Structure 1
Amino acid sequence: MNRTGRWPLPGEPRVWLAASGGAIAALLVTVVVLATTRGPAGRTIGLSSGELPTGGAAPVTGPLVDGSTGMDTPDAATPSMPTVAPVEGGVVCPPATVVVSNGESLAIALADAEAGASILMADGLYEGTFVAERPGTADKPIFLCGGSGAVIDGGSVKGGYGMHLDGASYWRLVGFTVRNAQKGVMADKVTFAVIQGLTVERIGDEGIHLRNFSTDNLVIGNTVRRTGERRDKFGEGLYVGSAQSNWCTVSGCLPDRSDRNELRENIISETTAEAVDIKEGTTGGKLIGNAFDGAKLSGSHNDSWVDVKGNKWLIAENIGRNAKQDGFQTHEIVKGWGTGNVFSANTAQVNGPGYGFAFTPVNGNKVSCDNKVTGAAKGFANVKCG
């Protein structure tokens, strides 16, 4: 990851760095508090800004579905058409096969979607909660695209999923806003989907959740903020898998093997629970190049940006600030889980009483010496780097 920065100035905060020989050294140097970083693909990640890049792909057009009749009308009837900006390393929306303008027409388009369809949401308000159940294919995914001015509004933080992919594999959700629902975006039994460039905000519980054997999905370039407005203990930003206590409800009493998911270059702030919660039962995922702000963390257990209870995850090149306790944590909730995770090249501006990295237990987890930690009262980590 390429980081912007400068040499330290006098009076700036102490930095905990790992010495090259593996010992943890408190270096009496100071650094600028990083407000932005660049992910592997070069997209700027800013903790103070939730805006996606401007420009890029030209507007896509297509027939309009009239919500009252279900009949196609000419393009001239299309309301303000958004430009969907591309995300480096993500997908680009193809020309639309159908354009929708309100909640009723969106529900019709989702129900009728066939492999290869491209649904464009015109700018406007889409009231209600929505579900997609018909899968695309590897060579013909289904696109649902819109600008940030296309807003799904669930009506209440006390119930409903703003957008639910229910067995709808090979979908691409791109660019629009989801707000005012109990859960923002939910994926159940979904594979090879892309959730990209969304703004998910004012949510009762978690923002974006992959669960129930949802595997090989990409969550990239999203802004998630103001979660936990119903119950602060459930206000995670990104959530992968299910807690053991929910396996019999969600995954047939089996570990929820929501494996090999990649969460990349997302901006997550104002969450009352962890920015990212990686549950026991999940394996082989990647958390790369994201930005977290934990200033709104609350409750006795919601005390870090990232909580890893799965196995063999790579957590790399992320930047966080303002943790209630530690920056990054691992836990063993179920025997055999919470092990083999690797933490590399992260920047942790903890501003809290704990560590940059806290492994409880250590359990085969590794923190490399290229991580950087500031403002952690207990220091770099509770283990030696290597």
Structure 2
Amino acid sequence: MKFRFDRWSFIVACLTFFTITLCNTSNAEHIQVNNAQQLVNALKNANTGDVIILASGTYLTSPTTYYYPLAGYYEPLEGDIAGRTAYFRGSQDNITIRSADPAQPAILSGNNWNEEGYVLHITGNNWTIQDLKLTNGAKGLILDNASNTLVRNVEIYNIGQEGLHIRDHSHDCVVDNVHIHDVGKKNDGFGEGIYIGSDNSVWYEGDGTDTGEKGKRYRRACHNNWIKNSTFGPNISAEPVEIKEGSENTIVENCIIRGSGISGANFADSHLDIKGTFTQIRYNHFYQDGNYTIDQSIMVVPRQNAGVEQQYTAHDNYIYGNTFDLNDDGVEMVVANSGSEAIFAWNNTRIPASGATYNSRVENYHPGTLKTGTGAKGSSCHLAVPEKSYQLDGGAGSLSFEIITEESFSVGTNQNWVSASRSGNIITLTYQANTSGGERAGEIQINGCLDIEIALTQSTGEAPCSLKPESSTLSFTAISGTATILVESSENFTVSDDQSWITATQQAGAVEISVLENNNAGTRSGTVTLSGCETKTITVSQSGIENSCSLVLSKNTHHFSDQAGSVTVQVTSNESFTASADQSWISTSISGNDLIVSVSPNEQSSSRSGTITVNGCEQQTLQITQAGKPTTGSGVVIEVAEDAYVREDKPTNNYGTATSLRAEQLPAEDQEIFLKFDLSAYASTDISLANLRLYPYSGSGATNKLYIANNSAWSEQSINWNNKPDFGSAIKSWYVDNDDQFFYIDITSTIKQYAGQDITLVITGAAQDDIRYRSKEAGVNIPMLLLNNPPEDFNQLRKEISPVPAAFRIFPNPNRTRYLKVEGGQGEIRIYNLQGVLVNSAHQSVIDISSLPAGVYIVQSGRATKKFIRQ
């Protein structure tokens, strides 16, 4: 739903006023139009049956303030209501606006799609809009209270938001052979091609908490509308077609609906959204156009969770005879979300046929009878005022005006100096003299089926004096300078300043302000005071000189092994600097722009750390850590420094903070894992054995492969598919037979080769399953390198997890039946929950699991285990 205020539009209003007699069709005219002003006049004076004929060319006008709902064509409306020829709701003969030559259609154009406003706005029944082009507006064609309207052979393009909107009690409309493309250029999440109805948050039948554009609430009923033989796309940024809750009996047929341009913003991931009821989508052709933002072609979206009653949303909808060209096998033709009822789809064709079709809430058969709603339309709402604003003089007075409406309404004001009363549809305004010394503003508030505000501005009464500088603030750079501020005053005035670096001098009708150079780094400010019949101030601010100093270290952390060692850190600074360490085992020296850091051997088994502080024009720190001396018979554990996975189908997304690392290989949807380890503290001679330890917690039956990245210049906060480092041939592979166990990959020769530097390991997957490993953000079972672990330590880290015997099998898995069957069990079969609690046991091969709630469980037989899912 959109909440936007539009400031200009072609507006066509047809209103009912019970005192006006409708004109007969015998008075119908053919009105020839050649320029914008003629079009304005034709729209303002149109009678039932009139045909407004536009010569070929572009009708371009400039924006003006919009007020609802009198007629206008980007022009201010100065005439009163009585000047209108007719106000009516409904007649047997439409008013028609069309081009003289359909082969060279007239173009109705606003200034720019990035400015607010409608290109064409219809606010009454029985119109025909034919053989036109609409372009360059925030919205294209809007039908409000515009029932029995025909839109035919119209092209709508270069629009900032939605292209065509049928709303506010518009029913029985026909949209035929319309081409809508290149819309949503201003707000891509609100750029629907055609939009039928309104979000329930702005229904007139609601509680009125939220309102729509121009403070207006829209009638819910938009029924029996027929969209046919039209083309939607390319480059529609939201859904090409959206049918809102509260809309009944919509038909969309024989249309071409393109997927190119659908952005994914504001949940725009479908060709067509159905939130209404009794809808028929038939004989259309949908194209994905290679747009992988599309998750499904048609989505049925119930709105009960937004407070909509079931009768108004997502039931009795029918999708049949359509063709879906979907190049992504995972994109379903129709998806019905939870809460949908009676959604039927049949005789639809998917290209290619191997892809997904419907989810489980869609009934894949002809229901026999296609139900239709009652199409109860309720009543229309019309409320018109003659002026959008009034200018009042400074003295006390009153004025009266008449509004046109058939509805009940109330009237009031928002200021105590003005009051409003009514007698029938005549509103009388009474206001007091303005003695405030300045102009003041207020508004008349009319509350009915529409809420309308009329702006009031009252000029000041005679004041003894005014003193008005053109600006109350003035800014200077650090250098000296002078500026002049004009002053409007009816009497003499003096000036003064409160800072020694400011000099203020009175000039004829102005004040001249000068400042000295600011040699300090900080900004300074002062005040110039103007004194006369009033006192006014000007705040003067001056920025300081820029600090051109910087001090940057080539690294801010370094890790040493337990042995004595040193490292050189480059310092980039345009001034001299010093360095000091807070630990005696750390020493520093400086050679030019190089900081040399040395450490003595660590004879203790525990690691230690310290900080080096570098002082210059700025201060930086270097964190130093040193490993403890290894004990006899034990190795070293190096935890992963940075880890992330990347996705080919979401090439700009970063997953560096995820608790999982995912590997899978599918067409255009590969997922790859990147692991960075810091080996800077280790020499090749320090390493005799190196194992990579991984823990897959989900997925099985797939082979993973290990690679070495060409570089380690990446960060887990920014890596994605587009910027990931390249890698060469696989160096290792392993088969993941089951999850929830450790895997150890011997990569001794590779780790020895990369000793003393960073190394990045890359893991790729296979198509059989998505293998998910724990990341360092998970906090447990994280990736690590095990250096020089003797066999006893190696087994301890494995926690003696045995492989599952091939003969041990449980089925069905996942399981939603009463019984779990076991093959190859040894002795008692035990079932545990994930908290380690025994929840069932048996010695037979068929186990009654009906008492187990849905969840994940571990089945154990001897030393063999299996995971199963209870649904």
TM-score normalised to the size of structure 2? Answer: 0.32
Q: Which one of the candidate residues 359, 365, 371 is aligned to 2:336?
A: 359
Partner residue in 1 for 2:657: none
1:365 is displaced (CA, Å) by 3.6
- Once the two structures are TM-superposed, the CA of residue 364 in structure 1 deviates from its matched residue by 2.3
Aligned residue in 2 for 1:165: 122
In the aligned structure 1, how far is the partner of 2:56 from the partner of 2:184?
27
Letter matched to residue 385 of structure 1:
N
Which amino acid counterpart does residue 313 of structure 1 have in structure 2?
A: T
| TM-superposed deviation, 1:101 | 1.3
Aligned sequence identity (%) = 24
- C-alpha distance in 2 between matches for 1:296 and 1:113: 39
Whether 1:309 and 2:282 are equivalent positions in the alignment is no
- What letter is aligned with 2:275? K
Measured at CA, do residues 319 and 252 of structure 1 come closer, stay the same or move farther in structure 2, by a change above 3 Å?
same
Distance 1:278 1:362, change over 3 A: same
Once the 2 structures are TM-superposed, how far is the Cα of residue 102 of structure 1 from its aligned partner? 1.7
Of 136, 139, 155, the residue aligned with 1:183 is 139
Q: Distance in 2 between matches of 1:163 and 1:253?
A: 20
Q: Deviations 1:20-59 (Å, cap 9, x if unpaired)?
A: xxxxxxxxxxxxxxxxxxxxxxxxxxxxxxxxxxxxxxxx
Count the aligned residue pairs: 291
Counterparts of 2:112 and 2:317 in 1: how far apart (Å)?
37
Counterpart secondary structure, 2:316: coil
Structure 2 Cα separation of the partners of residues 230 and 107 of structure 1: 27
**3-state SS, counterpart of residue 99 of structure 1:** strand
The aligned counterpart of 1:348 is 324
Residues 131 and 311 (structure 1), Cα distance of their counterparts in 2 relative to 1, 3 Å cut:
farther
Q: Which residue of 1 aligns with 2:347?
A: 370
Provide the C-alpha distance between the structure 2 equivalents of 1:187 and 1:134, rounded to a whole number of angstroms. Answer: 17
User: In the alignment, residue 186 of structure 1 is paired with which amino acid?
Assistant: I
Aligned equivalents of 1:186 and 1:141: distance in 2?
17
Q: Which stretch of structure 1 is more off in the superposition, 344-353 or 215-224?
A: 344-353
Return the alpha-carbon distance in structure 1 between the equivalents of residues 268 and 354 of structure 2.
Answer: 18
Single out whichever of 359-368 and 173-182 deviates more from structure 2.
359-368
Name 1:55's counterpart in structure 2: none
Cα–Cα, structure 1 residues 376 and 152, in superposed 2: closer, same or farther, change >3 Å? farther
1:318 matches 2:284: yes
**Equivalent-residue separation in structure 2 for 1:173 and 1:319 (angstroms):** 26
RMSD: 2.3
The reply to whether residue 97 of structure 1 matches residue 58 of structure 2 is: no
Q: Is the contact between residue 354 and residue 376 of structure 1 (CA under 8 Å) also seen in structure 2?
A: no
Distance 1:100 1:134, change over 3 A: farther
Larger Rg: 2
Give runs of aligned pairs for residues 126-205 of structure 1, distance below 5 A: 126-128=59-61, 131=72, 135=88, 137-146=90-99, 147=102, 148-157=104-113, 158-166=115-123, 168-205=124-161
2:57 to 114, 124, 143: 124
The answer (yes or no) to whether the contact 1:114–1:136 under 8 Å persists in 2 is: no
Matches within 5 A, 1:248-259: 248=208, 249-250=211-212, 256-259=220-223
Please tell me whether the aligned partners of residues 168 and 218 of structure 2 are also in contact (alpha carbons under 8 angstroms): no
**1:380: which partner in 2?**
357
Residues in 1 aligned to 2:92 and 2:148: alpha-carbon distance in whole angstroms: 11
Whole-Å separation in 2 of the counterparts to 1:244 and 1:191: 20
Equivalent residue letter for 2:287: R
**Where does 1:241-280 land on structure 2 (aligned, <5 Å)?**
241-247=197-203, 248=208, 249-250=211-212, 256-269=220-233, 270-280=235-245
2:300 is paired with a residue whose SS is: strand
Superposed CA deviations along residues 210-247 of structure 1, whole A, max 9, x for unmatched, are 00111111111101000001100111001000112332
Note the C-alpha offset of 1:369.
2.5
1:329: which partner in 2? Answer: 299
User: Using the alignment, how far apart are the partners of 2:363 and 2:108 within structure 1?
Assistant: 46
Listed as ranges, the matches of 1:203-214 within 5 Å are 203-214=159-170
User: Is the CA contact 2:167–2:219 (under 8 Å) kept in the aligned structure 1?
Assistant: no
Tell me whether 180-189 or 360-369 shows the greater mean CA deviation: 360-369
TM-score, length-normalised on structure 1?
A: 0.71
Q: Take 1:202 and 1:258, find their aligned partners in 2: how far apart are those partners?
A: 26
User: How far apart are residue 351 of structure 1 and its match?
Assistant: 2.5
> What CA distance in whole angstroms lies between the structure 1 residues aligned with 2:216 and 2:130?
31
SS of equivalent to 1:327: strand
1:38-117 superposed matches below 5 A: 97-117=30-50
Higher relative contact order (CA 8 A, sep 6+): 1
Cα contact 2:29–2:49 (8 A) shared by 1: no
Give how far 1:256 is off.
Answer: 1.4
Letter in 1 for 2:364: C
Q: Distance between the aligned counterparts of 2:144 and 2:240, measured in 1?
A: 20
Change (3 A) 1:254 1:185: closer
Cα offsets for 1:3-28 (capped at 9, x unmatched): xxxxxxxxxxxxxxxxxxxxxxxxxx
Query: Is the 1:96–1:120 Cα contact (8 Å) retained in structure 2?
Result: no
CA distance in 1, matches of 2:153, 2:325: 25
C-alpha distance in 2 between matches for 1:124 and 1:254: 34
Q: Which residue of 2 aligns with 1:80?
A: none
CA 103–224 in structure 1, closer or farther in 2 if over 3 Å, else same: same
Larger strand percent: 2
Q: Tell me, yes or no, if the aligned pair for 1:205 and 1:235 is still in contact at 8 Å.
A: yes
After superposition, the Cα gap between the structure-2 partners of 1:253 and 1:208, relative to the gap in structure 1 and judged at 3 Å, is closer
The Cα shift of 1:252 comes to 7.2
- Unaligned stretches of 5+ in structure 2? 1-27, 64-70, 74-85, 366-871
Residue identity in the other structure for 2:257 = F
Structure 2 CA distance for aligned equivalents of residues 180 and 363 of structure 1: 38
> In the TM superposition, what whole-angstrom CA distance separates every residue of 1:342-381 from its partner, at most 9, and x where no partner exists?
1110111122332011111362243332111125885111
CA contact (8 A) 2:202 2:218 kept: no
